[in-house]
Amino acid sequence: MEEREFETNAIRMQMDRSGNLEHSVPLYLTSSFVFEDAEDMRASFAEEKDRNIYSRYTNPNTSELIAKICQMEGAEAGYAFASGMAAVYSTFAALLESGDHIVSCSSVFGSTLSLYNNFFPKWQISTDLFNVNDSAAAIEALIKSNTKVIYVESPTNPGVDILDLQMIGDIAAKHGLILIVDNCFASPYLQQPISFGAHLVVHSATKLIDGQGRVLGGITVGEATLIDKIYRFSRISGPAMSPFNAWVLSKSLETLAVRVDRHCENALGLAQFLEAHVSVKMVKYPFLKSHPKYEMAKKQMKAGGAVVAFELEGGLDTGKKFFNNIQMLSLSANLGDTRSIVTHPASTTHAKLSPEARLEAGITDGLIRVSVGLENIADIIKDVSQAIEKATL
């Protein structure tokens, strides 16, 4: 195929047209597909033919979405799921066995930490956590004879810390481990973890890939041999993405680059405003020069992403007043939406964790996460500014 730029591939890469010669890909809202005769049916189930059988296995719409994400991430294969957490859980479940061990960064999504703490132990799957600032030696010290996976997010949720993906990739290669990277905060447009040594990349497509808060979705892409295991687990356990959601998400990818460019522009503008504000105790954004991993972020990412984390002087009490005085921005737990969203991680996305576990993940009680949307930056800053002023009176 002729080499084209990211934006062009996102728009022009789609399934072959049907006999109707449609310009936009149609929806394939069908649970199953028919066979020509008994031999066609037998050969299809025997996997002697590469064809659609049942939408829990494959569907033209999900196949197109997977192909697009694989192309963007530089991956060999993938599988699309009903949600981001379905992708995370099914990826682990397909690859791990009783007695296996995970090494993970402590700064990951709250539901992922809940898998580690509340569910995996009953299957004798254990986890050791490292801090975002730990050295390679400290991470390697956690690796055991039964360690199978290293799992990280970068940027992290919700503190937007940056991990050295090349260092983690080198550790995984040295010890023969599977490196899985949650690339949700960056999107395939800003960062491709496979180029730094990741074997699998996971996305909550609900976030920037959809970008408009409409549908749930998840996807895992990476090495074909690993994806085959994930596919075989998932076609039996049934967490498949619906064709409708896949169609929506595939169309959303056509605008991913232009949307994320605006997200990043607005987020940097808000971060710079917050950094200069007298009532702001701390602000983190990967492309702020004050971010402790600013140089690393520039090396790994095209731009800083949509999420800004900050804390007001006065901690939790002031933070509550801030949320109660927001007028335009949405109070929600989602992110990556066209609409700007403010979230209090300690009482929402990470509320199920103990206070100690939240602190280990870099989440203070007063931390505020802003998913910066596509509104005019002046209006975003105006709303945040008035809420800060009222909260700090």
Q: How confident is the model at residue 360 (pLDDT cuts 50, 70, 90)?
A: confident
Q: How far is CA 82 from CA 89, 90, 161, 205, in A?
A: 11, 11, 27, 9
Helices 224-237 & 84-95, crossing angle to 10 degrees? 110
Mean pLDDT over residues 195-224, rounded? Answer: 98
pLDDT at 108 (0 to 100): 93
**How many Cα atoms sit within 13 Å of 4 on the Cβ side?**
12
Residue count (the chain)? 393
pLDDT at 207 (0 to 100): 98
The model's pLDDT over 13-44, given as tens digits with 9 standing for 90+, comes to: 888 898 888 888 999 999 999 999 999 999 99
Q: Is 370 in contact with 377 (CB distance < 8 Å)?
A: no
Pairing type for strands 200-204 and 218-222 reads antiparallel
User: What is the spatial distance between Cα 214 and Cα 255, in angstroms, rounded to a whole number?
Assistant: 15
Give yes or no for residue 243 having a pLDDT over 80. yes
Give yes or no for residue 300 having a pLDDT over 60. yes
Mean pLDDT over residues 206-210, rounded? Answer: 98
Give yes or no for residue 1 having a pLDDT over 60. no
Query: Which range, 21-25, 66-70, 351-355, has the best average confidence (pLDDT)?
Result: 66-70
Distance of CA 106 to the CA centre of its chain: 16
* Token pair 């596509």: residue: 374
Domains, the chain, in order of start with CATH, read: 6-253 (3.40.640.10), 256-391 (3.90.1150.10)
Give yes or no for residue 347 having a pLDDT over 90. no
Give yes or no for residue 273 having a pLDDT over 60. yes
pLDDT at 2 (0 to 100): 66
The model's pLDDT over 70-105, given as tens digits with 9 standing for 90+, comes to: 999 999 999 999 999 999 999 999 999 999 999 999
Give yes or no for residue 319 having a pLDDT over 90. no
pLDDT at 281 (0 to 100): 93
**Range with the poorest average pLDDT among 77-91, 165-179, 326-340, 344-358:** 344-358
pLDDT at 361 (0 to 100): 74
The model's pLDDT over 135-176, given as tens digits with 9 standing for 90+, comes to: 999 999 999 999 999 999 999 998 999 999 999 999 999 999
pLDDT at 223 (0 to 100): 98
User: What is the spatial distance between Cα 145 and Cα 165, in angstroms, rounded to a whole number?
Assistant: 23
The model's pLDDT over 50-65, given as tens digits with 9 standing for 90+, comes to: 999 999 999 999 999 9
